[in-house]
Amino acid sequence: MDSKQNKSLYEPAIHFQHVSFEVGDTKILDSITGSFPTNQITVLVGPSGAGKTTLLKMCNGLLSPTSGDITVQGRAIHEMSPIDLRRKAGMVLQNSPMLAGSVYDNLALPLRLQGKTLSKEKALDILDQVGLEGEYLERDSQNLSGGQQQKVSIARTLMNESKILLMDEITSALDPSSLNEVEDLIRTLHEKHEITVIWITHNLEQAKRMGQYAWIMVDGKLVDAGEISVLDHSDIPSVDRFLKGDFS
Amino acid sequence: MSTTALFLTLIFVLIPLALSKSLGLNLEKDTIIATIRSTVQLVAVGFVLKFVFDSESYTFIFLMVVLMIGAAVQNARKKGEGIKGITWKLIVTFVLLEVLTQSILLGFKIVPATAQYIISLTGMVIGNSMVLAILFLNRFVSEVEAHRSESELILSLGGTPKQAIHKQLIRSIQASMIPTIESQKTIGLVQLPGMMSGQIIAGADPLEAVQFQILVIFLLLTTAALTSVCLGLLSYPTLFNERMQMIQRQQQHSK
Ligand SMILES: Nc1ncnc2c1ncn2[C@@H]1O[C@H](COP(=O)(O)OP(=O)(O)OP(=O)(O)O)[C@@H](O)[C@H]1O
Ligand SMILES: [Mg+2]
């Protein structure tokens, strides 16, 4: 791993220093040290159970490491208020639920939590950004297709205007055309608003399409990180097999 | 009631025993245990009450109240095992309820401050509160589990623990109060409340018995509302840690 060299190239948006996470005797994350560079799309790949979701939830403050330190934009997260951290680093999960109510109710949620209301213009604007027509605003969120729900879910997280977006398998339930739309949306957001994106995906083709920087995790360890080309080949035979699409 | 009459009431035990035996319901043992336990417990309570009533000592009244609250806590706490410190939370709830209702009842001289009134009304308030607490805890624990991902979503968007659990809390409070309210809507039409029947049989004027029953009904509304709200407000913070994270329940290692 050439993390020293990378540090000089990029100011990290999130930095991990010997981060471990244990539940009982099980080590789920094992002394992770590395960074997610600012204003880049970092793709996070690795076999099922590698600890990717666990790591992502830590960046949003839903979990805390059992040892080690995480800094977000240079500040240690245990010194930040959890609410601040969560608004700074917004998260979308593959199965983020829709709350009962209309699409508008879901979009308004992040503001409602702060005692504010969402104007109709702003709601329509955000719907437009994620590629949904205005008529969806009053629809019952439970009756949307999986792809539409995923777009609403992304739009909902965008309401906090987070500078860091944490995305966990957000396209794995989508049909190819919705998948393209969501990829374009994230790319546009990233370019227009200088947003740092961390993107977990099982799809190595997608990782290479979307990512500028990559992390490879296996069994709770960070086995490689660097420019996206690290996904082309690994010197570790088992990791190389994973990169060639052999999941066994 | 004469002693012979009392013994004849055993017929009402023999009927279910005979049915259980002939139909193979397998309930004989439980029926007998229930019969013996209820008889022994009631006779014991009868003697204790007679002693306390005769003594007219506030120390004994106080001890009786403590005993009732202790038994209610013991019964309800099993339902709240997932909630940290549930024992003292139940104690706080029951004591608060008891102090509040008795101060109103005695302070405004709604009932006289005698052992008969204090102990009977305490029994009804704490007994109902215990049932309410069990209903509430059952519902709250399952609501929290069923809607965990929604709570985590709200937290992840920068909501507070209270905002994350608000819906579940409200639904559990409603669900536990509804049976009390519903049963009061039909009271007197189908079923005479046990206490009123007892008074009437003992020779009280039905209108007087009704007056007293109305007092009890109103008292139980307060009991229902206060128990679930108080227990809810005391319980929800223990589901979160100081980093505003939902505390994980015992996880099984699936992989
Ligand atoms: N709270 C927990 N208690 C016990 N085990 C856990 C807990 N959270 C996660 N795990 C385990 O930790 C490991 C990593 O889980 P995680 O969800 O982070 O993996 P992942 O890389 O996101 O996998 P996937 O690609 O399947 O989503 C898994 O083996 C999982 O079963
Ligand atoms: Mg995962």
Phi, psi (degrees; rounded to nearest 5) at A240: -60, -40
Give residue B250's pLDDT band: very low, low, confident or very high (50, 70, 90): low
Quote the pLDDT of residue A8.
44
Cα of B241 vs its chain's centroid, Å: 30
Task: Work out the average pLDDT over B26-42.
Answer: 92
pLDDT value at A196 more than 80:
yes
Mean pLDDT for chain A? 92
Most confidently predicted of A3-17, A70-84, B193-207: A70-84
What mean pLDDT do residues B232-242 have? 94
Of B152, B160, B251, the CB nearest to A62: B152
Report the mean per-residue pLDDT for chain B: 91
User: Contacts of residue A64 in chain B, CB cutoff 8 Å?
Assistant: 243, 245
With the most atoms of ligand 1 within 8 angstroms of its CB, the residue from A19, A20, A26, A54 to mutate is A54
Residue of A nearest to B247 (CA): A63
For the CA of A46, the closest atom of ligand 1 is 21
Query: Interhelix angle for B194-201 vs B206-235, to 10°?
Result: 150
What is the number of alpha carbons within 13 Å of residue A148 lying toward its C-beta?
A: 16
Tell me if A17 sits within 8 A of A1, measured CB to CB. no
pLDDT above 50: residue A240: yes
pLDDT in the model for residue A247: 58
Average pLDDT of the residues in A228-240: 92
- Of all ligands present, the nearest one to the C-alpha of A54 is 1
Residues B139-186: tens digit of each pLDDT: 999 999 999 999 999 999 999 999 999 999 999 999 999 999 998 888
pLDDT at B193 over 90: no
Tokens encoding A128: 């437009």
Q: Give the residue-averaged pLDDT of B78-83.
A: 84
Closest CA to A76 of A1, A19, A10, A2: A19
Q: What is the pLDDT of residue B251?
A: 44
Kindly give, in sequence order, each residue whose CB lies less than 8 Å from that of residue A227, ignoring residues fewer than 6 positions away: A212, A213, A214
Nearest residue on chain A to B158, judged by CA atoms? A83
Number of C-beta neighbours around residue A108 at 10 A: 20
Q: Which residue, judged by its Cα, is nearest atom 24 of ligand 1? A: A48
Quick one: three-class SS letters along chain B?
Answer: CCHHHHHHCCHHHHHHHHHHHHHCCCCHHHHHHHHHHHHHHHHHHHHHHHHHHHHCCHHHHHHHHHHHHHHHHHHHHHHHCCCCCHHHHHHHHHHHHHHHHHHHHHHCCCCCCCHHHHHHHHHHHHHHHHHHHHHHHHHHHHHHHHCHHHHHHHHHCCCCHHHHHHHHHHHHHHHHHHHHHHHHHCCCCCCCCHHHHHHHHCCCCHHHHHHHHHHHHHHHHHHHHHHHHHHHHHHHHHHECCCCCECCCCCCCCC
Confidence band for B255, pLDDT divided at 50, 70 and 90: very low
**Does pLDDT of B246 surpass 80?**
yes
pLDDT at A1: 46
Count of beta carbons in the 10 Å neighbourhood of residue B194: 9
User: Above 70 in pLDDT, residue B252?
Assistant: no
Phi first, then psi, for residue A26 (nearest 5°) are -90, 125
3-state secondary structure of A73: coil
Strands (E), chain A: 12-23, 26-37, 41-45, 67-72, 75-76, 89-92, 164-168, 196-200, 213-218, 221-227
More confident: A22 or B250? A22
Higher pLDDT, B7 or A135: A135
Q: CA-CA distance, A54 to A52, in Å (whole number)?
A: 5
Q: What is the pTM of this model?
A: 0.87
B243 touches chain A (CB under 8 A): yes
pLDDT at A9: 53
pLDDT at A7: 46
The per-residue pLDDT for B254 is 39
Is the Cβ pair B150, A114 closer than 8 Å?
A: no
| Confidence tier at A10 by pLDDT (50, 70, 90) | low
Residues of B in contact with A96 (CB under 8 A): 149, 153
Residue B188: its pLDDT value, please? 78
- Convert B88-127 to b/e letters by CB count within 10 Å (16 or more is b): ebbbebbeebbeebbeebeeeeebeeebebbbbbbbbbbb
Segment A38-77, tens digit of pLDDT:
999 999 999 999 999 999 999 999 999 999 999 999 999 9
Does residue B116 contact residue B61 with C-beta atoms inside 8 Å? no
d(CA B50, nearest CA chain A) in Å: 55
Is the per-residue pLDDT at A3 higher than 70?
no
Select from B158, B251, B253 the Cβ nearest to the Cβ of A113: B158
**Pairing state between β A26-37 and A12-23:** antiparallel
Residue among A23, A26, A97 whose CB faces B153 most closely: A97
The closest ligand to the CA of A28 turns out to be: 1
